[in-house]
Amino acid sequence: MRNPRRAAVACAPLLAVVWPAAAEAHPMAGVGDFYAGMLHPLTTVEHVLPLAALGLLAGQQPRGTTLRVIPAVPVALIAGAALALALPAPPDLQAVTIGSMVALGALVALAASLPPLVAVAAAALPAAAIGWANAAELGGQVAAVRFVPGVALVGLLVVIYGAGCVRGLRAPWMRMAFRVLGSWIAALGVMTLGLQM
């Protein structure tokens, strides 16, 4: 476009979409407790990336192990949320979720084949920490009985989607792409951990 005014008018809708709005701690107000529970883990890097890495790791495992890991995630998310309702969150809980992002990303990058019990533990511990961290932020206006199932469902969906992608896309270059993605998740975890210190 040669006319600068025309270019400005053409870019105005794009700017309206990408211009940052006022930040809010919980942008889910008004969507309902269940949907707030579904959205909450997806809005934080240290929650969504470990869940994505869990899905990728589950997909890299043999079928029997994958089928054990997948149901362990929502159960652990609910157990962690129950802990949050009974006990105050430990001060280093965020470091645990970020550390799990590093560890899970590294396991995906290495394409580690884990024994079934180790794989379930590797899924359950970070999922419990994520459930605890999400439920620890519940306010008096949100009903835990609706919020926690939303957290568990979105965790289950993210893990199923990740595992399905890995198991469904078997081309050799895709396997390498998933391993690279795992290394990026681990690197983001290291960077996030460094920013927390």
Answer yes or no: are the C-beta atoms of 126 and 69 closer than 8 Å.
no
Secondary structure (3-state) at 140? coil
Q: Kindly report the pTM of this predicted structure.
A: 0.82
Can you read off the two tokens belonging to residue 78?
A: 């609910």
pLDDT recorded at residue 2 = 60
Residue 117 pLDDT more than 90? yes
* Closest residue by Cα to residue 49 from 106, 117, 118: 106
Q: What is the pLDDT of residue 77?
A: 96
Contacts with 66 (C-beta within 8 Å, 6 or more apart), sequence order: 58, 59, 163, 167
Residue 163 has pLDDT above 80, yes or no: yes
pLDDT at res. 31 = 75
> From CA 169, how far away is CA 70, in angstroms rounded?
18
pLDDT tens by residue, 34-91:
998 899 899 999 999 999 999 999 999 999 999 999 999 999 999 999 999 899 889 8
Q: Taking residues 151-172, what's their average pLDDT?
A: 94
CB atoms within 10 A of CB 6: 10
The residue-averaged pLDDT of 103-126 equals 96
The pLDDT of 113-131, averaged and rounded, is 96
Which one, of 160, 148, 166, lies nearest residue 75 by Cα?
148
Q: How many helices (H) and strands (E) does the chain have?
A: 8, 0
Q: Where is average pLDDT lowest: 85-89, 140-144, 175-179?
A: 140-144
Give the pLDDT of residue 53: 96
What is the reported pLDDT for 21? 42
- In this predicted structure, what is the pLDDT of residue 13? 56
Q: What is the pLDDT of residue 9?
A: 55
Whether the predicted pLDDT of 3 surpasses 50: yes
Q: What is the Cβ-side half-sphere exposure of residue 144, based on CA atoms within 13 angstroms?
A: 19
Identify the CA nearest to 106 among candidates 128, 122, 124.
Answer: 122
Give me the percent of the chain exceeding a pLDDT of 90.
65
